[in-house]
Chain A
Amino acid sequence: MGQRKKVGAVKTSSSENDTGEASKVSPKHNICMVSDFFYPNMGGVESHIYQLSQCLIEKGHKVVIATHAYGRRKGVRYLTNGLKVYYLPLQVMYNQSTATTCFHSLPLLRCVFVRERITVVHAHSSFSAMAHDALFHAKTMGLNTVFTDHSLFGFADVSSVLTNKLLTVSLCDTNHIVCVSYTSKENTVLRAALNPEIVSVIPNAVDPTDFTPDPSQRPTDRITIVVISRLVYRKGIDLLGGIIPELCLKHPDLHFLIGGEGPKRIVLEEVREKYQLHDRVRLLGALEHKDVRGVLVQGHIFLNTSLTEAFCMAIVEGASCGLQVVSTRVGGIPEVLPEDLITLCEPTVSSLCKGLEKVIAKQRSGSFPSPNSTHARVKNLYTWRNVAERTEKVYDRVAGEEVLPLEKRLWRLRSHCGPVAGSIFAFVAVLDFLFLLLLQWLVPDRHMDFAVDATGPNGLWVKKRQKSEPGC
């Protein structure tokens, strides 16, 4: 990561035309993923972007990622397989999300889109201001746009009313939207008042090779419940604080293994203190992604107490390691695993305890299938290759669609987002267009060097790799 690469000895003439011989099979796209959230920040969106990009590169597309600068990590970096990342110097405002003025990011994003000859802009996460900015500018520049929503939102409070309005504005002329579960699709369609036909459901994926079972790691004299999540309110840690004493009093051989960090850690520590459970409830603190498997394989049961969740990768990871999953029935969780691999409960202490007791009883009687057979079932459910294939189809569809010209876009904004917000953002769209004209006058496209492709049909790294060996 962060390795600088020399791009000197290149055949610039060959990289000039981007529709090479590969266009016969299926069109190759030049994709720019934009999100505020990318490595070195850690999280679900970050790994989604990385894994999806890697698999798209493997399929022969050109992928670059644009994010904001993280500390001293600014400029251009190359990751594995020539995945090019632009860390643009934009001001971070809150929670790793950039400030938005609708305009200031245009010069740099335009530069990225032009020099990389981008055809599809794929923005991620509705929390990312940079993603919305990029969608806005891409439409101004006449590029096709795709948006992936990773989160669920309510409708009741003031903040969600405002963010939903912004989402409506941002998505009303976006070509295609991707959601990670059917519940998330319903949510996004309602929030942004979209036509459901332009919303695809493509679930997240888990790398099954990272999450293999290892029954030898399980202690035989006790039953261990594993919880891996950030310790915050939305993950239902308060419920966990009620479950622990309830079950520990009934089952003296029950142990809890809790990975993750957050403000609700104090709740768990208080419970542990009050009921003297120091030897039975272990708080492991923040875990790195590579250590997660090592914790998972030590347990018998995986518990998820989330209060809201669009997809929940954690339960798939748990099931992939051969654990029995107990989870709350919220958001998209009921869609994720088949009924015999998961026990769904209501988000109450009593319901979760009942569900856990049932699973504990079955575990004692040994009536569960072996971890390896569970792993074999789960490992092919969600793969990144499948995600990339389905995303590719979205790109193919989007590439054939027209990008609304300015007057139609203004009309769409006015008719779709209400008279007030629609008019304001139509005005902003006009300003953005004028700003683009100014930039095109100051630095014409022909004065910008096309970047040397690292990935895609003429990618230098791809050719280099083809010589050695292929792999994702």
Chain B
Amino acid sequence: MGPDGVPSQSVPWRKVLWERQPFPDNYVDQRFLEELRRNEGIRQYRYWAVVKEAGFVGQQLSCVAIFITLWLYMEQGLLSPETLLWTSLSCALPGYGLYQVLTAQTESCSESRTHLADSQSAVLFLSFTFGFSPVLKTLTESVSTDTVYAMSALMLLAHLLSFPYAHPSPPGSLSLNAALFASVCLASRLPGALHTFAMLTCALLVFALWPCLLQRLRENAPGHFTGACVGVCVGGVGGLGSQSPGGAMLLSLALVSVTLICPLLLVSLQRHKDNIQGPWDEAEIQEDLSRFLH
């Protein structure tokens, strides 16, 4: 029964080892690989659905751009900290109201935090930031400005890369920390302590609270979600354009490639996907076995 024996076609080949069959060991039957399955349970992507999801990435990119624009205005003294604070407050309050409305739609309020707890943490954060803003202002005085800028750029990039786009509420700790670190770095280069305070409050609004609200929008009002994304993108490009047209060009290029070209690439490459499955795959345990233990 070694390789290249004489096969007799009288008996059909069977895929069993316990029976000595009149076939050579290297015999290849027609049934070879018949249990091979290709691309089982594959997800077919539709272009516009992917674009919609990718819009979230573009929106986050624009958020960073908006934040930088605000900082540029502050640094040049074109925007006073008081104005920024009042604008932030006037954005935060309707946003909070909207968030509450959207949350109430989906779940009972038993699990969610009370308004008292929310306002408590807001007051706590604001008072601490206000108290420490002189310290934060002088924190990076001994560091050269170039280093601070490079650090901020790196941290904002880290924020964008590590942002949990699939489940952005609450933002991942790494991305949030990177963003706050970058904003502390940038805020410390501003002229006054109040500037620093205003900048940090704004950073909290943009990087921590806005993704939460946007996630609610995505869940409960998909139409408005798209609108919000487009709005943020336009705002980002426009804002940056008023300060540096070149930057605005780059941002719009990045937005186009992320939201339009990358999805196109994904959908077109989908045809080439060749995933093979067969009896050799490790079986997956589908059931929940923890009920036996707990």
Contact between A and B in the complex (any CB pair below 8 Å): yes
B-binding residues in A (CB < 8 A): 152-156, 176, 181-184, 186-187, 189-190, 196-203, 234, 236, 238-239, 241-242, 245-246, 267, 270-271, 274, 307-308, 310-311, 328, 330-332, 334-338, 347-350, 381-382, 389-390, 392-394, 396-397
Number of interface residues of B (CB under 8 A): 33
| Residues of chain B within 8 A of A334, CB atoms compared | 15, 279
Q: Which of B3, B16, B283 contacts A328 (CB 8 A)?
A: B283
Asked if B15 and A182 make an inter-chain contact with CB atoms under 8 angstroms apart, the answer reads yes
**What are 30 sample pairs from A and B whose C-beta atoms fall under 8 A apart?**
A152-B280, A154-B280, A155-B275, A156-B281, A181-B17, A183-B280, A186-B279, A187-B278, A190-B36, A196-B32, A201-B26, A241-B293, A242-B289, A242-B292, A246-B292, A271-B293, A307-B283, A308-B281, A310-B280, A328-B283, A334-B15, A335-B17, A335-B18, A336-B17, A337-B18, A348-B286, A348-B287, A349-B287, A393-B1, A397-B4
Question: A239-B289, A241-B293, A242-B289 are known contacts. Are A307 and B282 too (CB-CB below 8 A)?
Answer: yes
| CB-CB contacts below 8 Å: B222-255 with A | none
Q: Which of A153, A196, A335, A397 contacts B2 (CB 8 A)?
A: A397
A394 to chain B, nearest CB (A): 6
Q: In the bound complex, what is the Cα–Cα distance between A176 and B2 (angstroms)?
A: 12
B116 within 8 A of A: no
A-binding residues in B (CB < 8 A): 1-4, 15-19, 24-26, 28, 32-33, 35-36, 275-287, 289, 292-293
Asked if B279 and A330 make an inter-chain contact with CB atoms under 8 angstroms apart, the answer reads yes
B149 to chain A, nearest CB (A): 36
Asked if A274 and B293 make an inter-chain contact with CB atoms under 8 angstroms apart, the answer reads yes
Asked if A190 and B33 make an inter-chain contact with CB atoms under 8 angstroms apart, the answer reads yes
Q: Which of B15, B35, B293 contacts A270 (CB 8 A)?
A: B293
| Residues of chain A within 8 A of B286, CB atoms compared | 348
B64 to chain A, nearest CB (A): 30
Q: Which of B3, B19, B283, B293 contacts A200 (CB 8 A)?
A: B3
| Residues of chain A within 8 A of B284, CB atoms compared | 307
Beyond the given pairs A154-B281, A348-B286, A394-B3, 20 more chain A to chain B contacts, judged by CB atoms under 8 angstroms and listed by A's residue number, are A155-B275, A155-B276, A182-B17, A186-B33, A186-B278, A196-B28, A200-B26, A201-B17, A246-B292, A270-B293, A271-B292, A274-B292, A307-B282, A307-B285, A328-B283, A338-B19, A348-B287, A390-B2, A390-B25, A396-B2
Q: In the bound complex, what is the Cα–Cα distance between A203 and B1 (angstroms)?
A: 12
A29 to chain B, nearest CB (A): 14
| Residues of chain B within 8 A of A394, CB atoms compared | 2-3, 25
Asked if B280 and A184 make an inter-chain contact with CB atoms under 8 angstroms apart, the answer reads yes
Q: In the bound complex, what is the Cα–Cα distance between A207 and B210 (angstroms)?
A: 69
A137 to chain B, nearest CB (A): 25
Question: A199-B26, A200-B26, A394-B3 are known contacts. Are A338 and B18 too (CB-CB below 8 A)?
Answer: yes
Residue of B nearest to A187 (CB): B280
B100 to chain A, nearest CB (A): 43
Q: In the bound complex, what is the Cα–Cα distance between A347 and B15 (angstroms)?
A: 21
Question: A156-B275, A234-B282, A308-B280 are known contacts. Are A203 and B289 too (CB-CB below 8 A)?
Answer: no
Residue of A nearest to B286 (CB): A348
Q: In the bound complex, what is the Cα–Cα distance between A396 and B1 (angstroms)?
A: 13
Asked if A308 and B25 make an inter-chain contact with CB atoms under 8 angstroms apart, the answer reads no
Q: Which of B15, B36, B275, B292 contacts A241 (CB 8 A)?
A: B292
